[in-house]
Structure 1
Amino acid sequence: MDHTDEGRTVELHVGDVLVVTLPVNMLTGLRWVVDSYDRRSLALVGETVAPPPPGGALGAGGTVAVFRFRTDAPAPAPSRLVLGLRRGAGPDEDVQQYGLLLDIRA
């Protein structure tokens, strides 16, 4: 999933891995963080910032933030996964949000 999937409903099954890739440049002071998700059915298993591609611009602070989630249990109802692009420490500091509606089934 990437920035073009924002707002989409995604059907997943227990054991699936959801990968969300969002553009970022760490030199701006902004970074993507996980704001909220249903921890009963989903687990954050990885978070990285990919390095600039070979031949990329000198001084580039990263190109994409990559979040990996594993589905651990079915959810009784669809739930939202929300990531925030922020400069500060709290969700009220988000300058942009990215959300998906997750329908996790057995």
Structure 2
Amino acid sequence: MPFYRGLLALGNIFWLTGVALLLGFRSTWNLITSKANIKGSASFLLGLFFLFVRWPIVGIILEIYGCLVLFGRFWPSVKAFLYEVPMLGWIIRFLFWTAES
């Protein structure tokens, strides 16, 4: 079964727990409940709801959109971090050199 809803829900719970452990519980709560991120939070929770009512493709699409909205501000920091990783940073710079020029 490619879209087993129990495993999808369990993966979402583990993902949310990982984010909370990484950022801290208070920061995660502030991120999810801030007015600027309410569209992303609503989209993610609606996607989770669609997973539970057996519409997994719609649910996954909504969750991906919600994650992009919630964590979109972190991409420049992630990019800067990845550039500093040995070997990986060189590969990324080499592959995307023409895209940044």
TM-score w.r.t. length of structure 2: 0.23
- Structure index of larger Rg: 2
| Bigger share in helix | 2
TM-score w.r.t. length of structure 1: 0.23
| Bigger share in strand | 1
